[in-house]
Homo-oligomer: A and B are copies of this chain.
Amino acid sequence: MYYIGVDIGGTNIKVGVVDSKGEILKKSSFATESKRPYIEIIKDIEITIRSLINGLKINLNDVKAIGVGSPGIIDSNSGTVVYTNNINWENVPLGKELTALTGIPSYVHNDANAAAMGEWKFGMGKGLKDIVLITIGTGVGGGVIINGQLFEGNYSAGAELGHIRLGGEGYPCTCGRTDCFETYSSATALIRFTKQAMEINPDSKMWEYVGKDIDKTNGKTAFECAKLQDKAAIEVVNKYIYYLGEGLANMANIFRPELIILGGGVCAQGEYLTKPLQEHLDRNIYAKGLIPTVKIVTASLGNDAGIIGAAALGIAKHE
């Protein structure tokens, strides 16, 4: 049996044919061109699905489900994208249209939820019952599996884990509040901390690392220069680890999952990220020393996580 995974982004849309073991058999992508009428974009998804299936010489009838991961607020019951600023969609009946065009059941969920399903079925969370996935990118996203079920809350609007107040420094958040988890722990926040430190430390090695051009600062700058023992960079990393560690301690105390899985580019830091985070968590988790702690790991599905996670949404419904 085959499944389709559709990973919707503001720039590109990736589509893959996936088997029941989570292996991608064939994949393709196209430019979103987000300003077009939504039905054109959905028709391009359909065309891409049909082309992949033809390429694999399989039958549309052998595709059991289409899973879609989309940014924004999704009503997963109806498969509607309620709102996403990445593509400027409002109340787009994505699942319904995809099913109408293909005859295949479609399941649309928030992209962080899709990623959590992927890691749970085929990645680091395989075989577990309770995991929390935190995706670190422009913002901070969250996906939660409780007792082997995707937890989404009413209107699929729960698990907005990036939007939990974390500190008191007053950073404004895209959601309208200040001081949300994502204002301290996203890649955007890491880059902001890095630039602030560079501005007050003209001798920092971070300036060399970015070729004297502060606009080339990215999520690696502070981590790489910290490895060179640059003091300012070490301070940036420590601040970032502190707040991300506090956010993960919150996750542990709220959900007490078996595993916290981190996704996003910063995970390339591997143990430079997870080791100090685990230490912070172990020192701060509720009831420390009385019951086992919660382990922190990085996600394993890599670049294809979006497609595999989306496909996993359908696999979970049909296996």
**Chain A residues in contact with chain B, CB under 8 A?**
73, 75, 82-83, 130, 146, 151-155, 157-161, 163-169, 175-177, 179, 246-247, 249-250, 253-258, 283-284, 286-288, 290-292, 294
| Contact between chains at A160 and B73 (CB < 8 Å) | no
Residues of the B chain whose Cβ atoms lie less than 8 Å from the Cβ of A165: 166-167, 246-247, 249-250
Q: Which 6 A-B pairs have the closest CB atoms?
A: A168-B168, A153-B256, A158-B256, A160-B253, A157-B256, A155-B291
Q: Which of A158, A166, A179, A253 has the most CB of B within 10 A?
A: A253
Of the A-B pairs whose beta carbons lie under 8 Å apart in the complex, a sample of 17, sorted by A's number, is A73-B290, A82-B290, A130-B153, A130-B154, A146-B151, A153-B254, A154-B294, A155-B256, A155-B291, A157-B256, A157-B287, A157-B291, A158-B257, A160-B287, A165-B249, A168-B169, A176-B283
Chain B residues closer than 8 Å to A284, beta-carbon distance: 176-177
Q: Most chain-B Cβ atoms within 10 A of its Cβ — which of A154, A177, A249?
A: A154
Contact B292 A155 (CB under 8 A): yes
Nearest-neighbour CB distance to chain B for A111, whole angstroms, equals: 15
Across the two chains, which residue of chain B brings its CB closest to A247?
B165
Q: Which residues of B contact A158 (CB under 8 A)?
A: 253-257
* A250 CB contacts on chain B under 8 angstroms: 164-165
Q: How far is the CB of A74 from chain B (nearest CB, A)?
A: 10
- With contacts A155-B256, A163-B286, A254-B254 known, what are 11 further pairs, Cβ within 8 A? A82-B287, A83-B287, A146-B146, A155-B287, A155-B292, A158-B256, A161-B254, A164-B254, A165-B250, A167-B167, A177-B246
Taking the nearest CB of chain B, how far is it from the CB of A283, in angstroms?
8
Chain B hits for A246, CB < 8 A: 165, 177
The complex places the Cα of A249 from the Cα of B160 at a distance, in Å, of: 11
How many angstroms from the CA of A175 to the CA of B161 in the assembled complex? 22
Q: How far is the CB of A92 from chain B (nearest CB, A)?
A: 13
Smallest distance from the beta carbon of A87 to chain B beta carbons, Å? Answer: 15
Within the assembled complex, what's the spacing in Å between the Cα atoms of A175 and B286? 6
Within 8 Å CB of A73, what residues of B? 287, 290-291
Interface centre among A73, A75, A176 (most CB of B within 10 A): A176
Residue from the list B179, B254, B294 in contact with A159, Cβ < 8 A:
B254
Knowing A83-B287, A284-B176 are in contact, say whether A254-B160 is a contact too (CB < 8 A): yes
Q: Which residues of B contact A160 (CB under 8 A)?
A: 253-254, 256, 286-287
Kindly list chain B residues whose C-beta atoms are within 8 Å of the C-beta of A291: 73, 75, 82, 155, 157
Q: A153, B255: Cβ atoms under 8 Å?
A: yes
Chain B residues lying within 8 Å of A151, measured Cβ to Cβ, are: 146
A286 adjacent to B255 (CB under 8 Å): no
A105 to chain B, nearest CB (A): 22
Q: In this complex, what residue of B is CB-closest to A91?
A: B290
- For residue A176, give the distance in angstroms from its CB to the closest CB of chain B: 7
Q: How far is the CA of A160 from the CA of B287 in the complex (A)?
A: 10
Residue of B nearest to A180 (CB): B253
- A153 CA / B253 CA spacing, docked (Å): 9
Q: Which residues of chain B are within 8 angstroms of A247 by Cβ–Cβ distance?
A: 165
